[in-house]
């Protein structure tokens, strides 16, 4: 069974995502309602976790495996709260995503020591400036709507955005590490960038109360592939390849 999962679990993940996208397309563009959308959505993160477990080396990196499990489990629970279309759902979703990103940061910090010299420091400064510029422009876009929100919602947004920025800064530092450079550039950097784009777009549309079907599909694509790249990075390291 493990051999089967090792070979085909990632294909199954992508098939589930493809089926979910088709379902969304039918609902949004042809108004064809199906009962499978929720089940497909809540199966995406667990299927990635199964893939990571299947390819990981047995009895090695036990602590890191638990970190990965906690990160993905929190992201999955966060997604469940979005199924309830109410304000409390998105509040809890953002707090849980911040906690999930915290475990991601913990994983990255375990891969290599933070380098505060040379390229490592330069990459971190450049990334920090990039996040500041993006966040300032994002705030200019949604400032009126943001100021109208409750304190809890503001705190949830700020906490999650800070966690994403901190994760991005650590990934940038990882890209300067000779041993982990390929892992950072190939998997974790695309993952954190896709997460950031998906988050900003999703929050912007919600705060601006914009309902545009194509944008919703774009959010789904970027969010899934953010998880996909990060999961591939986890699996690559835990498998010892």
The 3-class secondary structure across 30-71, one letter per residue, is HCCCCCCHHHHHHHHHHHHHHHHHHHCCCCCCHHHHHHHHHH
Can you give the pLDDT at residue 205? Answer: 82
Can you give the pLDDT at residue 70? Answer: 95
Residue whose C-alpha is closest to residue 21's, from 4, 36, 6 = 36
Quote the Cα angle for 120-112-199, to 5°: 75
Can you give the pLDDT at residue 30? Answer: 66
Residues 6+ apart with CB under 8 A from 4: none
Q: Which two tokens stand for residue 222?
A: 């970027």
Residue whose C-alpha is closest to residue 107's, from 135, 136, 67 = 67
Query: Between 118-147 and 151-174, two packed helices, what is the crossing angle to 10 degrees?
Result: 160
239 phi, psi to nearest 5 deg? -85, -10
Can you give the pLDDT at residue 241? Answer: 58
Can you give the pLDDT at residue 147? Answer: 80
Can you give the pLDDT at residue 73? Answer: 95
Q: What is the C-alpha separation between 77 and 112, in angstroms, rounded? A: 29
Contact yes or no for 13/48 (Cβ under 8 A): yes
pLDDT along the chain (241 residues), means of 10: 72 86 73 70 89 86 92 92 75 92 93 80 93 91 81 90 94 89 91 91 81 76 90 89 58
Ranges of each domain in the chain:
2-238
Can you give the pLDDT at residue 2? Answer: 63
Can you give the pLDDT at residue 107? Answer: 94
Integer angstrom CA distances of residue 4 from 7, 10, 21, 87, 230:
5, 11, 25, 42, 22
Contact yes or no for 65/56 (Cβ under 8 A): yes
Can you give the pLDDT at residue 231? Answer: 93
């Amino acid at each position: 069974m493990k051999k089967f999962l090792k070979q085909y679990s990632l294909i199954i993940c992508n098939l589930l995502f493809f089926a979910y996208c088709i379902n969304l397309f039918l609902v949004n563009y042809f108004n064809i309602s199906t009962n499978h959308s929720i089940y497909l959505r809540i199966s995406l993160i667990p299927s990635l976790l199964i893939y990571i477990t299947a390819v990981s080396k047995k009895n090695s990196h036990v602590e890191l495996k638990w970190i990965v499990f906690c990160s993905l489990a929190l992201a999955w629970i966060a997604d469940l709260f979005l199924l309830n279309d109410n304000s409390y759902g998105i509040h809890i979703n953002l707090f849980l995503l911040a906690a999930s990103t915290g475990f991601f940061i913990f994983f990255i910090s375990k891969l290599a020591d933070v380098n505060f010299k040379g390229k490592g420091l330069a990459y971190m400064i450049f990334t920090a400036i990039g996040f500041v510029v993006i966040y300032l422009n994002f705030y200019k876009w949604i400032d009126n709507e943001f100021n109208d929100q409750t304190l809890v919602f503001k705190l949830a947004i700020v906490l999650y955005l800070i966690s994403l920025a901190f994760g991005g800064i650590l990934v940038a530092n990882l890209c300067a590490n000779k041993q982990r450079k390929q892992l950072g550039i190939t998997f974790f950097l695309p993952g954190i960038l896709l997460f950031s784009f998906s988050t900003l777009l999703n929050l912007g549309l919600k705060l601006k109360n914009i309902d545009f079907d194509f944008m919703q599909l774009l959010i789904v694509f970027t969010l899934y592939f953010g998880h996909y790249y990060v999961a591939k990075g986890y699996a690559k390291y835990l498998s010892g390849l």
